[in-house]
Structure 1
Amino acid sequence: MNKKKISDSHLVGWLLPVIALLLWAVWGVCSSGNTGFLPTIPEVWSGFLRILKDGTLVENIKISTYRGMKGLLFGGLIGLGLGVLNGISQKADRLLNNTIQMIRNVPYLAMMPLILVWFGIGEETKTILIAIGTFFPIYLNTYSGIRMIDGKLIEMARNYGIKNKDLYLHVIFPGALPSILVGLKQSIGRMWVILIVAEEIASKSGIGYMITNAREFMLMDIIVVGLLLYAILGSVSDGVIIWLEKRLCRWEYLAERRS
């Protein structure tokens, strides 16, 4: 019964995309060749095949993925480290957390002019922008995940002789892991959004550049291909995190299935 419910919930999740595709197909049929506003599905497919055959698509996907993952790695590791530090240490929390929260309230894209002045328009700027945007979700979720661990659980572990490194590895970190993975999922979503803006900064490669270049020449089919690519890459990223949740947080997944 539970398996059927899970299967039905997955099918319902595809309902709106299928409806959108059907409406798009109807638009193509009813437009009578006047598709300047929105290209038809065959036109988008043709544009997709064109940039796939000439190698542009694969190269831009590789470059964008590398840029995104590089920024996510820097921002994520710093966010994880500070989240753990402030979560377990009262002194570090008092010293650092208020400052981090103040910086969090500054829109990260508003920092772009300052970052451009400091670092120029090279790859460093793109990496820093993505790192800033992806830092805060992982930091906040790591921090709150550690703070929300039941104190009785930690006390029980200590009573059983679990201390120091083992306490962090076997009690605190696993207890905070579901929250950390939520932060990672949010950070990956932000990563793809920031990447579009970052690749418009004097870039000559990447999906964002491909969309910007297509806009200059009014290549609507390529613009739609680029947008669909971001949607697909974002969905794949979410799928990877869900897979990790099922493997690393089995107790939560099993509880969800039982309910």
Structure 2
Amino acid sequence: MNKVIEVKARTEATAAPDAESAGTPAVVRKKRHVRRRIGPLDIALGALIPVVGIAIWQFYSGSGRVDSFFLPSPLLIASTVADLGATGELFTHTGISLQRVLLGFLLGGGLGLIAGLLVGFSKRGEELFDPMLQLLRMTPNLAVAPLFILWFGFGELSKVVIIANGAFFPMYVNAVLGIRSVDNRLYEVSKVLAYSRFDTIRRLILPSSVPQLLLGVRLSLAVSWLSVVVAELINSTSGIGYLIYYGQYNSRTELIFVGILIFAVAGKGIDSLVRLLERRLLGWRDTYKG
């Protein structure tokens, strides 16, 4: 008898949390997603492949098995970076390129956002403007760069316009996709709730479009950073692209590698900032994290 009572008590104790959770709202029962922190082991694993690659690179280049004209050693590149930093040239060229990228992105990305909103909200606007814009989107930036130089001269304006031309289309396409990807059933609900046109845009369409708009910002910045190479390689006396051109003209391969390294590091830094903004604004999304 005592054993029966003991088993019954255990069963009730085990079932109690289930009964309690059954009456708990689903929102409360939902597990909170805990963001996994990046530890030293994660950093070490992420740096493993680059470190091994640089070590192999240094071994072959430093031992003379590979001509430094074709592939300078990492130590020579690091020494060149240190020399440019000591003279201030490194920071001057990098700052000028960043300024051009920012101005081009603000101009091209801003116009792309406006055009995307106009086309996304209007079927007639899509019929009128989208075919022409898609035709221009397929034109390589390098092909139209000489035309911009002829139109706007060899100064800063032509470089900013070249960058803006590259930044325009990623922002435009993603703005249109963001608006058109809003669930039509939600739009019907907004009609039932008697939302005005302004309230529908402010409360429904724009918040739903934020993920796609942020993707547009990320891609637009990336293309802006790539376009500054085109702008500075064609005709410039400053900037990282000019540094690469100077290295090519004077057969200094290490300068070319320095320019490539700066582009890679600065581009990754800009992309990481946008991704951080994306995580903060879109932390509410419950998506697969792998």
- Is the shorter-chain TM-score for this pair beyond 0.5, marking a shared fold? yes
- Mapped to 2, the partners of 1:202 and 1:189 lie a distance apart of 21
Q: 1:166 to 1:3 in 2, by over 3 A?
A: same
- Mapped to 1, the partners of 2:88 and 2:142 lie a distance apart of 31
2:170 aligns to what?
Answer: 137
Determine if contact 2:111/2:168 at 8 Å carries over to the other structure: yes
Give the deviation of 1:35 after TM superposition: 2.1
| 1:46 maps to 2:83 | no
Give the deviation of 1:231 after TM superposition: 0.4
| 1:241 maps to 2:274 | yes
Determine if contact 2:145/2:231 at 8 Å carries over to the other structure: no
1:71 aligns to what?
Answer: 104
Deviations 1:49-79 (A, max 9, x none): 1110111011111100000111111110010
Deviations 1:29-58 (A, max 9, x none): 432695222111211111111110111011
| 1:98 maps to 2:138 | no
Give the deviation of 1:148 after TM superposition: 1.0
Give the deviation of 1:117 after TM superposition: 1.9
TM-score under structure 1 length normalisation: 0.89
For residue 218 of structure 1, give the secondary structure of its aligned residue in structure 2. coil
- Mapped to 2, the partners of 1:248 and 1:4 lie a distance apart of 18
Q: 1:59 to 1:5 in 2, by over 3 A?
A: closer
Instruction: List runs of 5+ in structure 1 lacking aligned partners.
Output: none
Give the deviation of 1:192 after TM superposition: 1.7
2:141 aligns to what?
Answer: 108
1:196 aligns to what?
Answer: 229
Determine if contact 1:121/1:201 at 8 Å carries over to the other structure: no
Q: 1:37 to 1:9 in 2, by over 3 A?
A: same
Higher relative contact order (CA 8 A, sep 6+): 1
Q: 1:3 to 1:248 in 2, by over 3 A?
A: closer
Q: 1:10 to 1:92 in 2, by over 3 A?
A: farther
Count of residue pairs brought into register by the alignment: 257
Q: 1:14 to 1:147 in 2, by over 3 A?
A: farther
Give the deviation of 1:11 after TM superposition: 6.7
- Mapped to 2, the partners of 1:33 and 1:191 lie a distance apart of 34
- Mapped to 2, the partners of 1:158 and 1:193 lie a distance apart of 44
Q: What value does the CA root-mean-square deviation take over the aligned residues?
A: 2.4
Instruction: List runs of 5+ in structure 2 lacking aligned partners.
Output: 1-32
Give the deviation of 1:22 after TM superposition: 2.7
Determine if contact 2:104/2:161 at 8 Å carries over to the other structure: yes
- Identical aligned residues as a percent: 33
1:255 aligns to what?
Answer: 287
Q: 1:173 to 1:32 in 2, by over 3 A?
A: same
Give the deviation of 1:14 after TM superposition: 4.5
1:208 aligns to what?
Answer: 241
| 1:62 maps to 2:95 | yes
Determine if contact 2:103/2:160 at 8 Å carries over to the other structure: yes
Of residues 113, 116, 123, the one that matches 1:83 is 116
Give the deviation of 1:170 after TM superposition: 2.4
Determine if contact 2:240/2:259 at 8 Å carries over to the other structure: yes
Determine if contact 2:58/2:75 at 8 Å carries over to the other structure: no
